[in-house]
Amino acid sequence: MTATTADLNAAKPQSGSDASEGMSYLENLPRKVVTVYVPLIIIMIVLLFPFYWMVITSIKPDAQLLDLQNSNPLWVTEPTLRHVHKLLFDSNYPTWLWNTMLVAVCATFLSIFASVLAAYAIVRIRYKGAATVGGLIFLAYLVPPSILFIPLSTIIYAYGLFDTPFALILTYPTILIPFCTWLLMGYFKTIPYELEECALVDGASRWQILVKIILPLAVPGLISAFIFAFTLCWNEFVYALTFISSNHNKTVPVAIISEFVDGDVFRWGSLMAGALVGSLPLVILYAFFVEHYVSAMTGAVKE
């Protein structure tokens, strides 16, 4: 006995209706509030509160900063820009900001260039021991910078680079290259090998394959590595404190701590203003490239 068309249609699973029914609980407003809005609000408060605190503290008068008994620590009644003015015009903060930008950009590009070559050689050029080399490179990233700065300081003194931006530009890649290489190795593995094999058959060199095929497809991974390296350079403290001593060569993280703290007196208004202004370049960087950053962490190149 053969089944009719109606019977066959009735026997098929209704995937679309099941999916809609499975998500129907979100259409209920009370459940949506509990499962979606409340967690999002909590996450936003936790993430944005440090920026709010920096803004509030940087525009508070000294009287309200010191008198916590009669003033609300979470609000300001008489905002002032005196701390910001003092930071930008009565200190070397623009110079510190320029030093931080110079060091971060140069060290990041140097690290990305070396990481691209290392990751391509380990992943795309098949040879014995490539996996071991990749694992050793990642293990190098696990070495704490607080251990490395002692031998590195000897090298910096020997080459006469102490108290110069080159001391940071040449030492930051020691902590950036291992992780960036490991990150790009994972992304390069997602690029189909068939593309490279076809290019080799057509007579392309390894350098042409890297520049014209691999790198264009790995742009999200490169952006992700760049953001990580740039952020680490921008916020690095130990090397900048050890290798830089003069005021005009300091970077922002070290300068605002050393210049706006007098013994046990903390000038919180200027400190928070410096931290707020110093964080703006990173905020802008993430705002423009967050989509590429997320795609590199969660996605891959599909065949």
How does pLDDT run across 176-190, given as a tens digit for each residue?
Answer: 998 899 888 888 888
Predicted pLDDT at 35: 78
Element holding 165 (H helix, E strand): helix 165-171
* 3-class DSSP assignment, residue 227: helix
Dihedral, CA atoms, 123, 233, 101, 293, nearest 10 degrees?
50
Predicted pLDDT at 172: 92
Express each pLDDT in 158-171 by its tens digit: 888 898 999 999 99
Token duo for residue 177: 């290259």
Give exposure, 211-246, as e/b (b: 16+ Cβ within 10 Å). Answer: eebbeeebebbbbbbbbbbbbbbbbbeebbbbbbee
Dihedral (CA of 166, 170, 171, 173) sign: positive
Where the chain has pLDDT below 70, the residues are 1-28, 291-303
Predicted pLDDT at 113: 94
Predicted pLDDT at 302: 43
Instruction: Provide the CATH topology of domain 91-298.
Output: MetI-like fold (1.10.3720)
Domain map (residue ranges) of the chain = 5-58, 91-298
Contacts of 88 (CB under 8 A, 6+ apart): 94, 277
CA distances from 46 to 39, 49, 75, 244 (A): 11, 6, 17, 34
Q: Whole-model pTM?
A: 0.78
